[in-house]
Chains A and B, each alone.
Chain A
Amino acid sequence: QKEVEQNSGPLSVPEGAIASLNCTYSDRGSQSFFWYRQYSGKSPELIMFIYSNGDKEDGRFTAQLNKASQYVSLLIRDSQPSDSATYLCAAHSGAGSYQLTFGKGTKLSVIP
């Protein structure tokens, strides 16, 4: 069974700190990876996607992918209370797949 694992948290960080969210996946055929942010009662909002090994930066967000270790992470720099949400890691399952496998999400709380 293809799985995406995340620590459910909650992860608490002080305002201004770096929040580090981690995700591992079981399917070595997975080729594209996504981080979604979901506020309570709202729909998932795309934060980052990453296809290649290494780092990808977008503003305060950096996604990291290590395919050898089957590991994806999201770093949020200068965390703000508005970053408090559940972060969903998702992976596409191999070539030709429309199906996203989601992790259970990590709840992040940024403490003012």
Chain B
Amino acid sequence: DTEVTQTPKHLVMGMTNKKSLKCEQHMGHRAMYWYKQKAKKPPELMFVYSYEKLSINESVPSRFSPECPNSSLLNLHLHALQPEDSALYLCASSLGHAQETQYFGPGTRLLVL
């Protein structure tokens, strides 16, 4: 089973709202990732958690706040977003060591008004 699930599928929020994106996997993977993808662009890495510790933060604005409550769950807390943050947000996971295959979830389509 190579399934990563993400909720919600779609999200519309105002610039003053607080919302959260959720990602879950039950493959026993120990590395989880958040990517942002704009139309006609490749995914851009935002954060990497390895063994539940934040190991990479690609200079993402503080209005994005990741959280890894356990090895199966990854959240992305959103606050005071800008319209330019509208994008497809992708979660991925891999076994846990570097250089391994990353499996993507279906994504959350976010629109910031």
Contacts and interface: CB of A to CB of B under 8 A. Distances in A.
B101 A95 contact: no
A10 B45 CA distance: 25
A98 B41 contact: no
B42 A95 contact: no
Chain A, interface size category, equals: 20 to 34
Interface in B90-109: 90, 94, 98-107, 109
A100 B94 CA distance: 12
Contacts of B107: 42-43
Interface residues of B, number: 25
Contacts of B101: 32, 34, 46, 49
A41 B101 CA distance: 22
Interface stretch (B13-21, B48-56, B63-71, B75-83): B48-56
Interface string B29-52: 001010000000111010010100
A1 interface: no
Given A98-B55, A102-B43, A46 B99 contact: no
B74 interface: no
Given A98-B48, A103-B42, A43 B99 contact: no
A104 B4 CA distance: 23
